[in-house]
Amino acid sequence: MLAGMSGSPSSRIAPEVMGHYLQGREDGRLRSGRNRLEFWRTQDVLRRVLPPAPARVLDVGGASGVHAEWLAADGYDVELIDPVPTHVEQAGRLAGVVARLGDARALEAADASADAVLLLGPLYHLTTRGDRVRALAEARRVARPGGMVAAATISRWAAVHHMIRLDRYTDPAVREVADECARTGLLRENDGVGFTTAYFHDSDEIIGEFADAGLPDARRHALEGVFALYADIDEWLDDPERRALLLDVARRSEHEPTLLGVADHMITVAVVP
């Protein structure tokens, strides 16, 4: 346990963040509709950067196991850590997945005990830079030298982009929250925006957070490109031929610097020195 962290993992996260996830919507979020793009792109990036199976993967902030499920089916030995008890219960029922309560800032795992540590979500809700670097440093400690750390971030302008797409940006209260997020990165809990308290990254700052956690030479991957903003994206995702074309373009443009902050999400990856 790191100094300064006390109480149970569930008690350490903000009550509104816990309340958001206790609504139980996370399990279905990536399985249907436009968010399937985030799911397939996450899968595409991870399948290329992870050490080959069998290997031990710690899925920190793994929620109900939407990624742990396919990682286990791919042959990985998956341990999922999450502070939300209902997530841990759901994930613990998946074949090949061990799930337990925990906090990304203080992992109860031995040094160098995993081949890869995933943080696909915790950085969204760690609103201070110190906490984000601490979570990344914990991932670095637990991943073995030569192993890998991958972390997802939400992009700075995502709230504004989506409020315009959904025609909610005309509401002054929604506009104020989304604009403040674009200015500072901090999203205040607000039903109109449809998420909870979070931090949205400027596309360059994650590199410094990785470096300060002892993870130099990190590489960013834009997940959705511009496609999450398209009105008719479901038609493309439903049609296997068009989906394959779209995923291919998203893959080929994932390192394009001008698109990094346009995508809703990035996954940043570093090999542990």
Ligand X SMILES: C[S@@+](CC[C@H](N)C(=O)[O-])C[C@H]1O[C@@H](n2cnc3c(N)ncnc32)[C@H](O)[C@@H]1O
Residues that bind ligand X (CB under 6 A): 13, 17, 21, 26, 30, 60-63, 66-67, 82-84, 87, 103-105, 120-122, 124-125
Contacts 24+ apart (CB under 8 A), 245-251: 246/37, 247/40, 247/41, 247/44, 249/225, 250/37, 250/41, 250/44, 250/222, 250/223, 250/224, 250/225, 251/41, 251/44
Cα distance between residue 57 and residue 146, in whole Å: 14
Closest contact distance (angstroms) between CB of 124 and ligand X is 6
* Smallest distance, ligand X to C-beta of residue 187, A: 12
Q: How far is the CB of 65 from ligand X (least distance, A)?
A: 9
Rounded CA separation 130/138 (Å): 12
How far is CA 25 from its chain centroid?
16
∠ CA 104-194-133, nearest 5°, is 25
Separation in Å, CA 138 to CA 18, 32, 145 = 22, 32, 13
Least distance in Å: CB of 81 to ligand X? Answer: 6
Give the residue with the Cβ less far from ligand X, 60 or 260. Answer: 60
Give 36 or 165: the residue with its C-beta nearer to ligand X: 36
CB of 83 to ligand X, least distance (A): 5
- Least distance between ligand X and beta carbon 159 (Å): 14
Q: Inter-axis angle of helices 205-212 and 129-142, to 10 degrees? A: 50
CB nearer ligand X, residue 61 or residue 225 = 61
Nearest to 268 by CA among 198, 218, 214: 218
Closer residue to ligand X (CB): 32 or 216: 32
Using alpha carbons, select from 174, 177, 201, 200 the residue that is nearest to residue 188.
177
Of residues 194 and 216, the one with the C-beta less far from ligand X: 194
Pick 83 or 225: Cβ nearer ligand X: 83
> For ligand X, which is the closer residue by CB, 8 or 235?
8
Whether the Cβ atoms of residue 156 and residue 261 lie closer than 8 Å to each other: yes
Taking CB positions, which residue lies at the least distance from ligand X?
121
For residues 272 and 257, give the distance between their C-alpha atoms in angstroms, rounded to a whole number: 24
Q: In Å, what is the CA distance from 245 to each residue of 44, 150, 259?
A: 14, 25, 18
Q: How far is the CB of 171 from ligand X (least distance, A)?
A: 24
